[in-house]
Amino acid sequence: MKNNIFIGMYMCGMIGIPTILSRKMDLDLDVSIFLLLGFGFLVGGLLGFFETNYVKKSDLNTDDKPM
């Protein structure tokens, strides 16, 4: 479930924000593509950083033991 949330946030940040900004600012196509790639790398890098450092991974040694 956590991975699905991260994928949705990544797609929204990569495609939605630059598209809205390029329409509001009347940018050319090449500037829009550059903006799209920049936001994609920025959002993907931030989400990858948070996922590796702050999302708790399951521990195989303790998850399977009954209480």
Task: Centre a 10 Å sphere on the Cβ of residue 18 and count the other Cβ atoms it contains.
Answer: 21
For residue range 27-52, what is the model confidence (pLDDT) as tens digits?
777 777 787 788 778 877 887 777 77
Classify the C-alpha dihedral 38-43-44-45 as positive or negative.
Answer: positive
The angle subtended at Cα 37 by Cα 43 and Cα 20, nearest 5°, is 80
User: Residues 36, 15: contact at Cβ < 8 Å?
Assistant: yes
For residue range 7-16, what is the model confidence (pLDDT) as tens digits?
777 677 667 7
Domain boundaries, given as residue ranges, for the chain: 2-52
Is the pTM here over 0.75, yes or no?
no
